[in-house]
Amino acid sequence: AVAFGGGIAAAPVATGLVAWTAWAAAVTLGGALLALARPAAATAVTLLAVGAVGVLRGSTPPGPPDHVSRLALPRVARVEALVVDEPMRWSAERTRLLVEVDRLDGEPRSGAMQLTAYGLTPPLAAGQRIAIEARLDRPLGFRNPGTYDYAARLFRHGITVVGTARGERITALDDRDPAWPTRFKHEAVGAMRQALPPVSAALLAGLLLGDRTDLPPDVDRAFRRAGVYHILAVSGFNVALVASTVWALLALARAPRRLATLGALAVVVGFAAVVGGQPSVLRATLMAVLVLAALLLEREASVLNGLALAAVAILAVRPAELHDPGFQLSFAATAGIVLAPLPRHRLIAAVAVSAAAQLAVLPISLAHFNQLSTIGILANLVVVPLAGLATVLGLFAVAAGPVSATIAGWLFAATWPVLLALRGAVAAAAAVPGAVVHGP
């Protein structure tokens, strides 16, 4: 995993010819060393070959002649495209669309674009074809050295053109219902909004689904200052709760061990489909699947091997994720917890887990966000149990909705005071003088 990731990181400065030459030489030398019974040396050389594969996977090939990267910009154009991801609504008046272009001003074109629509937009779903009149340009970012490079991030994800448009100028070219994960997510968020006050509903949506769209700025800021923002980004914490809750319920119902494991496996995969494909979700889901598969096969699960395999799988499909802060934070925090020696005493172990995760992500947080939380280790001891209780109650409430609105209402009512306590704990931690230290 480290060798493959290192190759992807080296891709911008290494040519394809160098990578292919290094790969061929490493494979040849590795085979020779293996034949000479030198397994340690053969392993080291093989890792060089893996790094060369990473270089090749991380390289960006030139686009075809009709690629949108070759357009003369800026310009206003009519774009016909396929919506490839669920539209991201930042506010009631601002929606971000990721599209794959079919035609531009009537001519065939290819390539991805990121469009921002202002104003009200028609209901859109992933997989739907749309037409939109937009102003297109190259992505730009801050030019101060060392600051966040927005244009570079988009380029790593294959986006070389961005556009802006009015929402009312979007026309759906076909009728397509959202896929079941999107429908389920919308219905779940709608049930939360109907049963809870606005801020509590937004907080529960963040805990359960990672949907922070409606979270007020002051609450969002408090979670960041308190060093507990990770509970609003669906990760191993949420996936482990879902898997363990389903497994425990099936076990209490006297289901056979393997049936309980299969049930937990199915729910975890469905949960990941609903939440989305963020790096933290993919990592946690892959690791959970490996652990549950080990239970099915009656094998011992290696958490460190699971973490490494998850990294290789994600980077093989989406090599640009290596540079994503979410990917780096998720894997660093998990590696810190897995590798740290933990004491036996429960309270001391809880502090050690929090400290290990915080220390592991410290350089990444400083590099990307120029800030350090001084209160996060202690705040997690109170916030994580409250978030876990709210998450489990919220899951039960959402699951009970289709069966009985009354039971769902009772469960949402039981969740509300926990959410209030969670907000109070976060606000108290964020109010501590020096809770965040800025280090530009």
Q: Tell me the residue type at 354.
A: S
Q: Is 161 exposed, middle or buried, given 0-12, 13-18 or 19+ CB atoms closer than 10 A? A: buried
CA distance 313 to 293: 17
Taking 70 as the pLDDT cut, the residues of the chain under it are: 92, 146
Residues, the chain:
440
CA angle (307, 313, 318) in 5-degree steps = 120
pLDDT for position 1: 95
Q: DSSP secondary structure string, 282-329?
A: HHHHHHHHHHHHHHHHT----HHHHHHHHHHHHHHH-GGGGG-HHHHH
| Residue 146 burial class via C-beta count within 10 angstroms: exposed 0-12, middle 13-18, buried 19 and up | exposed
Give φ, ψ of 158 to 5 degrees: 80, 20
Contact 313, 3 (CB under 8 A): no
Angle of helix 217-225 versus helix 405-430 axis, rounded to 10:
60
Task: Supply 305's token pair.
Answer: 């091997």
Identify the pLDDT of residue 371: 81
pLDDT of residue 356: 87
- Structure confidence by residue, pLDDT tens digits, 241-297: 888 888 888 888 888 888 888 998 898 888 888 887 777 888 888 888 888 888 888
List C-alpha distances in Å: 193 to 76, 95, 274: 39, 20, 18
How buried is 218 (Cβ within 10 angstroms: 0-12 exposed, 13-18 middle, 19+ buried)? exposed
* Euclidean distance between CA atoms 122 and 136, whole angstroms: 21
Task: Look at the pTM and tell me if it is higher than 0.85.
Answer: no
For residues 115 and 162, the answer to whether their CB atoms sit within 8 Å is yes
Q: Can you give the pLDDT at residue 183? A: 82
* The predicted structure's pLDDT at residue 172: 86
- DSSP code for 371: E
Residue type, 71: L
